[in-house]
């Protein structure tokens, strides 16, 4: 395995949120809120075909409508849409994505990977809590709390364990790099 395109995950210049929402309690709304309040200095590009704005940020109806190619995309759309969404992002030149969506069957996962292969897009997920990089102002997760920046990295297969660790660390002023 190479490190190609990992910079797009760990140090993106722009982030698209596919499935951004204003609906209270939805995953798309939690992601939008966390991303927009995280302090990320680059553009955050919400994508929602039925909203003109997400939390006062201009929204785009489709990936093709985005004014620039995002380095990182965060996806929270229904399972059936994931392969075509990955394909559309790859065609635009996106180099990394976080697939929050759960419920992908083996065929959808294979299609997702096939769609990402031509551009060597890095994929985190599916069925994940998300990705955080507090030092860069990135909270591309639906975690309840946002940890402070620090020197400790946390990788977990379990979203529940990661969320519990983040909650525990926040109460003790422990920060994370990623």
Q: How far is CA 87 from CA 4, 20, 55, 128, in A?
A: 19, 19, 27, 20
Write out the two tokens for 162.
Answer: 């990661």
The string of DSSP letters for 144-156 reads SS-PPEEEE----
Q: What angle do CA 67, 57, 177 make, to 5 degrees?
A: 90
* pTM as predicted: 0.93
Q: How far apart are CA 151 and CA 39, in angstroms?
A: 18
Quick: pLDDT tens for 93-133.
Answer: 999 999 999 999 999 999 999 999 988 999 999 999 999 99
Residue 60 carries which DSSP code? B
Q: Are 7 and 38 in contact (CB under 8 A)?
A: no
List pLDDT tens digits, range 12-48: 999 999 999 999 999 999 999 999 999 999 999 999 9
Task: Note whether 145 and 40 are within 8 A (CB).
Answer: no
Position 2 pLDDT exceeds 80? no
pLDDT digits (tens, 9 = 90+) for 65-91: 999 999 999 999 999 999 999 999 999
Rounded to the nearest angstrom, the gap between the alpha carbon of residue 40 and the centroid of all alpha carbons in its chain is 13
E strand or H helix at 58: strand 57-58
């Amino acid at each position: 395995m190479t490190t190609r395109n990992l910079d797009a995950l760990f140090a993106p210049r722009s982030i698209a949120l596919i499935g951004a929402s204003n609906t209270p309690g939805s995953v798309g709304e939690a992601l939008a809120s966390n991303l927009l309040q995280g302090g990320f200095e680059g553009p955050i590009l919400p994508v929602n075909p039925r909203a003109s704005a997400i939390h006062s940020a201009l929204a785009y109806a489709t990936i093709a409508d985005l004014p620039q190619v995002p380095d990182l995309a965060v996806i929270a759309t229904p399972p059936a849409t994931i392969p075509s969404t990955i394909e559309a992002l790859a065609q635009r030149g996106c180099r990394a994505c976080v697939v929050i969506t759960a419920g992908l069957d083996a065929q959808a996962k294979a299609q997702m990977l096939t769609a990402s292969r031509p551009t060597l897009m890095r994929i985190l997920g599916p069925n994940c809590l998300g990705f955080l990089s507090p030092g860069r102002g990135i909270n591309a997760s639906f975690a309840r709390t946002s940890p402070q920046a620090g020197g400790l990295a946390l990788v977990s297969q379990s979203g529940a364990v990661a969320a519990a660790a983040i909650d525990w660390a926040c109460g003790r002023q422990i920060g994370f790099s990623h």
